[in-house]
Chains A and B, each alone.
Chain A
Amino acid sequence: MDSLDRKIINLLQKGFPLSEQPYLEVAQQLGIEEETLIERLSHLLENKTLSRFGPMYDAQKLGGAFSLVAIRVPDEDYDRVTEIVNSFREVAHNYRRDHDLNMWFVLATDSPEKIDAVNSQIEKKSGLKVYNMPKLDEYFIGLNLPV
């Protein structure tokens, strides 16, 4: 990744024009050719520096639901519980964190009711208490990291 890639990423983290020739518009802002911009973007997506280029949706507005869930898992039981939790396709990601509540995962489902259903199944299969912490309010959606 060179300085032009960085400039492109920094600019396109802020938004993308809704116009007939948006790449041309962005390229002009950067002082480069439209074709160069498209090639660079395509390369950054191919080599997975970027995970996406397009709209980020609010899943709740589309009828979906998210929740952050934590479990206190004894060390000797961690692998077993990981396997149980990760077997659910609704689990978007799962991190081990250094706290008493040491397993943290995000559930993404197409309805709020399914969040509760998945949590009950996880409790039943693991024998451990699940701490469900859905988002109540959001103060910011950043994802705007200078690179």
Chain B
Amino acid sequence: MDMKVKYRLPSLPPQAELDDIDQALITLMQRGLPLSPTPYADLGKKLQLDEDEVIQRIQKLDNDNVIKRLGVVVRHHELGYKANAMTVWNIPDELVSELGTCMGQFDFVTLCYRRPRRLPEWPYNLFTMIHGKDREDVLANIALLAKRCNLDEVERKVLFSTRRFKQRGAIYR
């Protein structure tokens, strides 16, 4: 009997249906929201839309999760979160969703993704980014996480970054 397990990638989430006006609005907001008392009306003026329509379109983009979040994005390093570690876990497939959700609740966990294992070299399938003031603080946070989500028996690896070579924002079309 062939016991070889083939790994199949799930299909990517469907691309949202966006019309030209949505696209124009998305591009315009990439530079940020106007710092004026009526930012949505001001965006509308540039696109010849009234304020209500701008608000409704942004609301729809938010409901469809095209917009994950509206607000500020902080630079961790500038705010005293000097250390971070990519912490990876080897979790039984049937438990990934439950344990990932548990880990995602913590403030110091900024990313919590399932990724494919690359056996035999790489058995880890859950990736978390853990922040802290320094390395000790990061390790304390990881210990807390392991305790609270019952992960003490789970094989894990902590990968601190030692140098950053390049950082830029993602480019969207």
Contact = CB atoms under 8 A, between A and B. Distances in A.
A86 B37 contact: no
Given A49-B78, A60-B12, A93 B164 contact: yes
B24 interface: no
A18 B58 contact: yes
A93 to B, nearest CB: 4
B51 interface: yes
Contact of A51 (B165, B169, B172): B169
Q: Is the interface of B mostly helix, strand, loop or mixed?
A: mixed
A99 interface: yes
A119 interface: no
B111 A97 contact: no
A52 B59 contact: no
Interface size class of A (residues with CB under 8 A): 35 or more
Given A133-B116, A136-B115, A62 B16 contact: yes
Contacts of B69: 15, 55-56, 141, 143
Interface string A1-28: 1000000010011111011111110000
Interface size class of B (residues with CB under 8 A): 35 or more
Interface string A60-100: 11111110101000000000001000100101111111111
Nearest to B54: A18
23 contacts: A13-B72, A16-B71, A23-B37, A51-B169, A52-B32, A54-B31, A55-B61, A55-B69, A56-B71, A68-B113, A68-B127, A82-B165, A95-B161, A96-B163, A100-B121, A104-B86, A133-B127, A134-B116, A135-B115, A138-B112, A142-B107, A142-B112, A145-B108
Interface of A: 1, 9, 12-16, 18-24, 34, 38, 41-42, 44-45, 48-66, 68, 70, 82, 86, 89, 91-101, 104-105, 108, 110, 112, 131, 133-147
